[in-house]
């Protein structure tokens, strides 16, 4: 698990809380590649976050509303607009600035190739 998420409580899809260390341990994709998807919300209220997360997102994890990690990482990872997708390596370094555009441009045609590029960037 990425060290930069250590000590953070996350929400599961059913809105129960789980420590990041437990939730992210051993996460892998179908191709046995390591991946951690964590949603950082910019919703204006806890109720908005919970509605948005439970109704419009996949079965991944979410940082709790109001957690101070949101403010810290908003600055660290240059989150100025939404939606945004950043690829962060296990050391907590941003290795892909505009993952959203990469998904739009390349994700449908070659999702495994895109993931391989991100994996290579994380392993540099």
pLDDT score recorded for residue 95: 92
C-alpha to C-alpha distance for 5 and 112, rounded to whole angstroms: 25
User: Are the C-beta atoms of 28 and 34 separated by less than 8 Å?
Assistant: yes
What string of H, E and C letters represents the secondary structure of the chain?
Answer: CCHHHCCCEEECCCCCEEEHHHHCCCCECCCCCECCCEECCCCCCHHHHHHHHHHHCCCCEEECCCCHHHHHHHHHCCCCCCCCCCEECCCCCEEECCHHHHHHHHHCCCHHHHHHHHHHHHCC
User: Are the C-beta atoms of 9 and 18 separated by less than 8 Å?
Assistant: yes
Fold of 9-123: Glutaredoxin (3.40.30)
CA angle 107, 34, 73 (to 5 degrees): 80
Looking at the predicted structure, is the pLDDT value of residue 3 above 70? no
Q: Domain residues of the chain, as ranges? A: 9-123
Residues 5-38 have pLDDT tens digits of 788 888 888 999 988 888 877 664 445 556 677 8
pLDDT score recorded for residue 51: 92
Residues 89-109 have pLDDT tens digits of 888 889 999 998 999 998 889
Residues 34-90 have pLDDT tens digits of 667 788 888 899 999 999 888 888 788 899 999 998 888 888 888 888 888 899 888
């Amino acid at each position: 698990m990425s060290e930069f998420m250590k000590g953070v409580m996350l929400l599961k899809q059913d809105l129960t809380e789980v420590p990041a260390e437990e939730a992210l341990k051993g996460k892998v994709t179908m191709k046995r590649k390591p991946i951690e998807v964590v949603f950082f919300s910019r919703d204006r209220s806890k109720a908005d976050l919970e509605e948005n997360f439970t109704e419009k997102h996949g079965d991944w994890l979410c940082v709790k509303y109001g957690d101070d990690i949101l403010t810290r990482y908003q600055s660290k990872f240059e989150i100025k607009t939404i939606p945004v997708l950043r690829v962060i390596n296990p050391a907590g370094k941003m290795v892909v600035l505009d993952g959203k555009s990469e998904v739009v441009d390349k994700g449908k045609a070659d999702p495994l190739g895109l993931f391989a590029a991100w994996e290579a960037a994380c392993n540099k």
